[in-house]
């Protein structure tokens, strides 16, 4: 006797009946299989078309807004990452999450954008299925494939900062899909779907402003679904209320964008949507006459109105496209491809709607044409990706397609200048100069090309022109730290080789302080600031700068020695002042007291006062060899070497251990970094009368005594190159 196994039951007869049915049976099973296969094929063609996007490095604005935007690299500091041009808050948050998972990896960021893009293709497919439920899944699949492979989507996927439109489109399509479900109540979700739809719209608006057209699209969707709609029109109120609140917030925070050249930009976006050639990271202003732009916009509005009057899905698709492109054009004045991303969803919905009008006998031909269009789109997208793999390729491509824009020559000049700096290649620097000057002629207000022009000119040895470029930047942007620091470095390096060296060094010190006020200097710059301050006798601030430098680079022995020298100089200055005060208190004209005062004043940087004190010493007739050396040193500080030579051509009796008086004066100048003054003294007629030895040979010997072998080597090279006799 056999016992029938007891069947399991859920307690719900209707659910038990549904569970006992085959998963795939009859037409329902075939339809379900087609849906899954279509979704799979959409993902596959999308992956193939954009497969090389993961190898694209950070490009253009990605470098500034993502790679170098330090607050973005931590969720704690994320609010400070919302600098000008950065994506909106929700998109910025997703980028910060990507960075937290894989710091510095553009691959993960683009992989995330690609996943969202594929999700958008699937959502387009599902929305199309909801709008045209009687069509075969393969018809909706055409819409999904054309969307994921459209070349105009390239910037949104390949640009990391294009995350905003991609993420906003994902959330917008989810909102629209849930709205359709709520309006038709086909899923039993009803109110829950509507609430979720509203929240998805709000999140979409926080990802990118392109989602602002969603409430209007939902109205049009409700209108087109009137025969199936079961919901009242008042369900639109939450969307418009949310849009108003978001618009007020945006206006308060950033202001609302102006209309720009809307008709011409709309016509340009429309052309790129239907014929995506000439795509570029930057575009020239549309060369479309205003009347043509107005005509295109008016025609689009008329077509939309005519098709919407028939409650046509095609009319909804056209309205979707027109609203998306109009909103992108509203953000003028330039064409920015990623702004048109959301509008492509409306364009994709046109294809299956048009397919429905093809006669049954011609549908195989239409299918072949659709396949050819998908293939062509895939090839075009793949080729567009290749241009993004190299910065040079990207901007050379832009230079051809946007011959008027200043951006391509500016970026190419930057790349050439960076390579020239690294390799010290004069030819690359000359190429950079040519490109950068071209960019500056096109846009004189942009300071970045001028900064790179200064670098390119410096590589070529055009110091004065480089400084002029940096000062041009500072005239436009007084607080530009990069220009101030670059000019300070250049002035510091050339101060000993220029007439008016002290004025040049003083200017360098002022610029170092300006740069330091903008952002703290690094150790080398602080060391230079300290050296410059000490040259002028500002010992306390010099010591403070060197202490900061030593804290940043504690292993630097040169810094440690400089700091010790400053400390010793301060002690010597204080001791000298005390001795001078004691002597002059007894006798105000005491020569030794006056000498000590002059020395202390010179140490403190008060060179003019020191010169007056030394004049008083000379008037007493008590000037000795040390007074003569100190006077020559002070006058060198005042850039008055010629006056000193004329006034004191014959030094007082020198000590026996000092065989050459002018060499001692040159050494005193060299010890303080005044090598130009030292050479000037050695080339003077009195010095040549005393000692005919080549000045460069003497300077090389002084450099060796001061433990500066590189400078000694430079003087010896000058000797070998032919400078063998005093001038």
Does residue 699 contact residue 666 with C-beta atoms inside 8 Å? yes
> What would the DSSP string read from start to end of 596-645?
HHHHHHHHHT-HHHHHHHHHHHHHHT---HHHHHHHHHHHHHTT-HHHHH
pLDDT of res. 725: 40
| Residue entry with tokens 């060499």 | 663
**Higher local confidence (pLDDT), 537 or 85:** 85
431 in a structural domain: no
pLDDT of res. 1: 42
pLDDT of res. 159: 92
pLDDT of res. 274: 92
Calculate helix-pair angle for 591-604, 625-637, nearest 10 degrees: 30
Q: Which domain holds residue 637?
A: 624-727
Average pLDDT over residues 704-726: 75
> Any residues with CB less than 8 A from the CB of 101 and at least 6 apart, and which?
108
d(C-alpha 419, C-alpha 437), whole Å: 17
> Any residues with CB less than 8 A from the CB of 694 and at least 6 apart, and which?
719, 723, 724, 725, 726
d(C-alpha 414, C-alpha 429), whole Å: 10
Percentage of the chain exceeding pLDDT 70:
90
> What is the total count of domains within the chain?
2
3 in a structural domain: no
> Any residues with CB less than 8 A from the CB of 446 and at least 6 apart, and which?
406, 410, 439, 440
CA 305 and chain centroid, separation: 43
Percentage of the chain exceeding pLDDT 90:
39
Average pLDDT over residues 588-596: 77
Q: pTM here?
A: 0.74
CB atoms within 10 A of CB 572: 14
pLDDT of res. 364: 84
CB atoms within 10 A of CB 586: 8
pLDDT band with cut points at 50, 70 and 90 for residue 24:
very low
| Dihedral pair phi/psi, residue 541, rounded to 5° | -65, -30
d(C-alpha 439, C-alpha 282), whole Å: 14
d(C-alpha 626, C-alpha 623), whole Å: 8
Among 268-272, 544-548, 583-587, 675-679, where is mean pLDDT lowest? 583-587
The tokens describing 275, both together, are 């014929």
| Dihedral pair phi/psi, residue 394, rounded to 5° | -65, -45
Does residue 265 contact residue 328 with C-beta atoms inside 8 Å? yes
Smallest Cα–Cα separation from 97: which of 117, 112, 115? Answer: 112
pLDDT of residue 456 exceeding 90 = yes
439 in a structural domain: no
pLDDT of residue 225 exceeding 90 = no
d(C-alpha 693, C-alpha 725), whole Å: 8
88 in a structural domain: yes
Q: What is the pLDDT of residues 526-562, one digit of tens each?
A: 888 888 887 776 778 888 888 898 888 888 888 888 8
The tokens describing 191, both together, are 């109110």
Does residue 215 contact residue 243 with C-beta atoms inside 8 Å? yes
CA 340 and chain centroid, separation: 23
Smallest Cα–Cα separation from 356: which of 132, 626, 565, 141? Answer: 132
d(C-alpha 77, C-alpha 462), whole Å: 42
The tokens describing 129, both together, are 């299925």
586 in a structural domain: no
pLDDT of residue 55 exceeding 80 = yes
Among 341-350, 385-394, 716-725, where is mean pLDDT lowest? 716-725
d(C-alpha 556, C-alpha 567), whole Å: 17
pLDDT of res. 726: 39
pLDDT of residue 496 exceeding 60 = no
pLDDT of residue 588 exceeding 50 = yes
The tokens describing 156, both together, are 């949104």
pLDDT of res. 25: 47
d(C-alpha 636, C-alpha 669), whole Å: 8
Does residue 583 contact residue 599 with C-beta atoms inside 8 Å? no
**Total residue length of the chain:** 727
d(C-alpha 43, C-alpha 27), whole Å: 24
pLDDT of res. 430: 95
pLDDT of residue 495 exceeding 80 = no
Quote the DSSP letter at residue 104.
T
d(C-alpha 461, C-alpha 408), whole Å: 25
pLDDT band with cut points at 50, 70 and 90 for residue 413:
very high
pLDDT of res. 400: 93
| Residue entry with tokens 């279509």 | 38
d(C-alpha 721, C-alpha 694), whole Å: 13
d(C-alpha 495, C-alpha 266), whole Å: 56
d(C-alpha 346, C-alpha 257), whole Å: 23
pLDDT of residue 21 exceeding 60 = no
The tokens describing 454, both together, are 């200064």
Calculate helix-pair angle for 214-224, 237-253, nearest 10 degrees: 160
pLDDT band with cut points at 50, 70 and 90 for residue 258:
low
CA 455 and chain centroid, separation: 18
d(C-alpha 487, C-alpha 515), whole Å: 10
d(C-alpha 318, C-alpha 347), whole Å: 7
pLDDT of residue 384 exceeding 80 = yes
51 in a structural domain: yes
Smallest Cα–Cα separation from 348: which of 174, 170, 150, 137? Answer: 150
The tokens describing 94, both together, are 């997703």
pLDDT of residue 723 exceeding 50 = yes
pLDDT of res. 535: 72
How distant, in Å, are the alpha carbons of 28, 41, 45, 314 from that of 31? 5, 15, 21, 24
pLDDT of res. 597: 78
pLDDT band with cut points at 50, 70 and 90 for residue 35:
confident
Average pLDDT over all residues of the chain: 85
Quote the DSSP letter at residue 281.
S
CA 541 and chain centroid, separation: 34
Q: What is the pLDDT of residues 608-635, one digit of tens each?
A: 888 888 888 888 888 889 889 989 988 8
Contacts 24+ apart (CB under 8 A), 572-575: 572/603, 573/539, 573/600, 573/603, 573/604
pLDDT of res. 348: 92
Does residue 676 contact residue 495 with C-beta atoms inside 8 Å? no
pLDDT of res. 654: 81
687 in a structural domain: yes
Does residue 62 contact residue 85 with C-beta atoms inside 8 Å? no
CA 203 and chain centroid, separation: 27
520 in a structural domain: no
pLDDT of residue 169 exceeding 50 = yes
Among 123-137, 177-191, 405-419, where is mean pLDDT lowest? 177-191
């Amino acid at each position: 006797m056999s016992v029938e196994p007891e069947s399991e039951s859920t307690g719900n007869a209707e659910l038990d009946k549904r569970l006992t049915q085959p998963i795939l049976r009859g037409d329902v099973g075939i339809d379900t299989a087609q849906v899954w296969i279509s979704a799979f094929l959409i993902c596959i063609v999308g992956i193939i078309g954009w497969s090389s996007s993961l190898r694209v490095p950070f490009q253009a604005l990605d470098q500034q807004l993502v790679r170098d935007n330090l607050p973005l690299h931590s969720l704690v500091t994320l609010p400070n990452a919302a600098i000008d041009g950065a994506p909106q808050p929700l998109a910025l948050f997703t980028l910060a999450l990507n960075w937290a998972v894989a710091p510095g990896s553009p691959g993960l960021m683009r992989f995330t954008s690609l996943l969202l893009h594929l999700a958008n293709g699937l959502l387009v497919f599902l929305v199309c299925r909801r709008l045209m439920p009687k069509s075969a899944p393969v018809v909706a699949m055409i819409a999904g494939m054309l969307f994921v492979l459209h070349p105009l989507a390239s910037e949104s996927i390949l640009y990391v900062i294009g995350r905003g439109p991609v993420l906003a489109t994902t959330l917008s399509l989810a909102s629209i899909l849930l709205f359709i479900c709520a309006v038709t109540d086909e899923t039993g979700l009803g109110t829950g779907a509507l609430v979720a739809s509203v929240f998805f719209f709000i999140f979409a608006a926080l990802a990118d402003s392109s989602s602002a057209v969603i409430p209007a699209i939902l109205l049009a969707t409700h209108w087109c679904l009137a025969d199936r709609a079961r919901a009242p029109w008042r369900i639109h109120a939450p969307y418009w209320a949310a849009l108003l609140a978001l618009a007020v917030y945006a206006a308060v925070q950033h202001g609302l964008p102006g209309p720009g050249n809307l008709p011409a930009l709309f016509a340009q976006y429309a052309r790129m949507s239907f014929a995506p050639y000439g795509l570029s990271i930057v575009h020239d202003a549309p060369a479309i006459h205003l009347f043509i732009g107005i005509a295109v916009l008016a025609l689009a509005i008329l077509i939309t109105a005519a098709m919407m009057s028939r409650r046509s899905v095609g009319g909804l698709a056209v309205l979707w496209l027109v609203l998306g492109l109009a909103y992108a054009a509203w953000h003028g004045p330039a064409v920015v491809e990623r702004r048109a991303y959301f509008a492509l969803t409306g364009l994709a919905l046109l294809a299956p709607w048009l397919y429905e009008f093809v006669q049954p006998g011609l549908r195989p031909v239409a299918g072949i044409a659709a396949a050819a269009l998908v293939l062509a789109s895939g090839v075009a997208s793949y080729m567009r990706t290749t241009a993004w793999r190299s910065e040079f390729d990207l901007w050379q491509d832009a230079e051809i397609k946007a011959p008027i824009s200043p951006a391509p020559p500016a970026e190419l000049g930057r790349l050439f200048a960076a390579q020239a700096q690294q390799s010290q290649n004069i030819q690359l620097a000359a190429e950079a100069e040519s490109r950068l000057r071209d960019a500056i002629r096109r846009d004189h207000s942009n300071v970045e090309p001028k900064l790179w022009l200064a670098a390119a000119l410096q590589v070529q040895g055009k110091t004065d022109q480089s400084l002029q470029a940096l000062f041009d930047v500072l005239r436009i942007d007084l607080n530009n730290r990069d220009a101030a620091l670059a000019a300070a470095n250049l002035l510091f390096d050339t101060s000993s080789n220029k007439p008016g060296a002290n004025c040049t060094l003083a200017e360098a010190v002022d610029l170092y302080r300006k740069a330091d006020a903008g952002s703290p200097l690094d150790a080398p710059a602080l060391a230079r600031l300290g050296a410059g301050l000490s040259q002028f006798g500002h010992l306390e601030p010099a010591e403070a700068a060197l202490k900061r430098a030593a804290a940043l680079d504690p292993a630097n022995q040169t810094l440690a020695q400089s700091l010790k020298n400053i400390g010793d100089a301060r002690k010597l200055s204080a001791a000298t002042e005390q001795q001078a005060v004691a002597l002059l208190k007894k006798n105000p004209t005491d020569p030794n007291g006056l000498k000590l005062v002059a020395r202390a004043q010179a140490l403190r940087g008060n060179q003019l006062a020191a010169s007056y004190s030394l004049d008083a010493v000379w008037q007493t007739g008590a000037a000795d060899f040390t007074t003569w050396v100190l006077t020559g040193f002070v006058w060198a500080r005042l850039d008055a070497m010629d006056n000193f030579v004329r006034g004191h051509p014959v030094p007082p009796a020198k000590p026996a251990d000092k065989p050459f008086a002018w060499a001692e004066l040159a050494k005193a100048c060299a010890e303080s970094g005044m090598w130009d003054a030292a050479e000037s003294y050695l080339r003077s007629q009195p010095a040549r009368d005393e000692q005919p030895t080549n000045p460069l040979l003497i300077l090389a010997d002084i450099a060796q005594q001061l433990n500066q072998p590189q400078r000694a080597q430079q003087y010896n090279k000058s000797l070998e190159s032919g400078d063998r006799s005093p001038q």
